[in-house]
Amino acid sequence: MNQPTRTPEAPRRPRRVRRAVLAGVLAVALPVAGGTAWALDRYVVEHVEISDVAAYEASQAAATGTSTASTADTAGSDTSGVLTDTTYTSDDADISVSTVTTGTGDDTVTYYVADVTLTDATVLRSAFAQNAFGENITETTSDIAADNDAVFAINGDYYGFRDTGIVIRNGVVYRDEGARQGLAFYTDGHVEVYDETSTTADQLVADGVWNTLSFGPALLEDGQVLAGIDDVEVDTNFGNHSIQGEQPRTAVGVVDDNHLVFVVVDGRSPGYSAGVTMTGLAEIMQGLGATTAYNLDGGGSSTMVFGGELVNDPLGKDQERGTSDIMYIGG
């Protein structure tokens, strides 16, 4: 059996590329004029609900007498850090990024691990493409990260592809349409998988939730790989590709309170990285010591950025596909 080897690797500089327009594909798939127009409106045309998220979060904080800024920001402490090719250390977070390669030939799998320890849970933040909330608003992970001075970022759950799911970001409610298993990050540092349909966004905020993600499925519970995860369908709406089989993947795992591991697996590139199944992803997270793990948007969206550099190779071309949101740590 080939043993995994983990080696530091200097991140590569990204070429910033906008997400390809789907109009041509949709026109072929839906030749009837009315159907095509509907599909373009639903899956391509931007629908902006909040045009300035930063201002909106500030207004919500003022209205409730709370803050959506991280503890480090509000305290006015020194947020500078030391960044090398593979590590970052500051008063807010310790981040170590490594590359793991296993297998040979067409069975080779390459993935990237960010081991993150936070001093405060609110240091992990979310940001939306183009600083706007709504449907079909996209921007590359690298660009969203740069817009928010992020030292580390991964793609989120692509909330903008669907109109369901609970969306709480940086302590602010954006959507309350429970539909699936979600992941909740609490201000006290713990993270848990929950049933969106059994609660409300307001209740989650009242209970101390800082961020939620709505994709899935959950991969690990109490350190054990969950059964049936290779058969899960996150969405059945038009245009959503299957998440089964060997694919590029993004996942977050919980080692302990304020101790997280983020994994991005490259795929669809035989000889470099074939990708992994959902069970394979769960086993990676298990091997990293995670007790809880959750699958995020994958495929061409799977992206990790560190120190302003694109770490992985999302499309096999050193290019990125646009996404709707990121999780990040500021520099």
DSSP readout, 29-90? H--SHHHHHHHHHHHTS-EEEES-HHHHHHHHHHHHT---S-HHHHHT----EEE-SSEEEE
Dmax over Cα atoms in the chain, in whole Å?
59
Question: Taking the mean position of all CA atoms in its chain, how far away is CA 145?
Answer: 12
pLDDT the model gives residue 81: 92
Token digits for 275?
Answer: 């990708």
168-206 pLDDT, tens per residue?
999 999 999 999 999 999 999 999 999 999 999 999 999
User: Which residues, other chains included, contact 34 with Cβ-Cβ below 8 Å and sequence gap of 6+?
Assistant: none
Residues 133 and 136: their CA atoms lie apart, in Å, by 9
Name the nearest CA neighbour of 322 among 156, 167, 205: 156
- As a whole number, the mean pLDDT across the chain is 87
More confident residue, 218 or 44: 218
305-320 pLDDT, tens per residue?
999 999 999 877 778 9
User: Which residues, other chains included, contact 173 with Cβ-Cβ below 8 Å and sequence gap of 6+?
Assistant: 167, 201, 202, 205
CB of 248 closer than 8 Å to CB of 267: yes
Token digits for 196?
Answer: 């969106």
pLDDT the model gives residue 6: 52
Residues 277 and 35: their CA atoms lie apart, in Å, by 33
Stretch among 31-35, 106-110, 282-286 having the lowest mean pLDDT? 31-35
pLDDT the model gives residue 94: 98
pLDDT the model gives residue 107: 95
More confident residue, 2 or 299: 299
pLDDT the model gives residue 319: 82
pLDDT surpasses 80 at 299: yes
User: Which strands sit side by side in the sheet containing 191-195, from one edge to the other?
Assistant: 191-195, 181-186, 209-213
Residues 29 and 49: their CA atoms lie apart, in Å, by 28
CB of 261 closer than 8 Å to CB of 114: yes
DSSP readout, 130-151? GG-EEES--B-HHHHHHHTTEE
| Element at 201 (helix H, strand E) | helix 201-206
pTM: 0.86
Pairing of strands 309-310, 304-306: antiparallel
Mean pLDDT of 76-88: 77
Residues 1 and 232: their CA atoms lie apart, in Å, by 29
Mean pLDDT of 37-47: 77
- Per-residue confidence band for 3, with pLDDT thresholds at 50, 70 and 90: very low
141-174 pLDDT, tens per residue?
999 999 999 999 999 999 999 999 999 999 999 9
The position carrying tokens 């998988």 is 193
Residues 255 and 95: their CA atoms lie apart, in Å, by 14
| Count of other CB atoms within 10 angstroms of residue 96 | 17
Token digits for 59?
Answer: 């207004």
User: Which residues, other chains included, contact 275 with Cβ-Cβ below 8 Å and sequence gap of 6+?
Assistant: 109, 245, 246, 247, 248, 249, 265, 266, 267, 268
pLDDT the model gives residue 244: 82
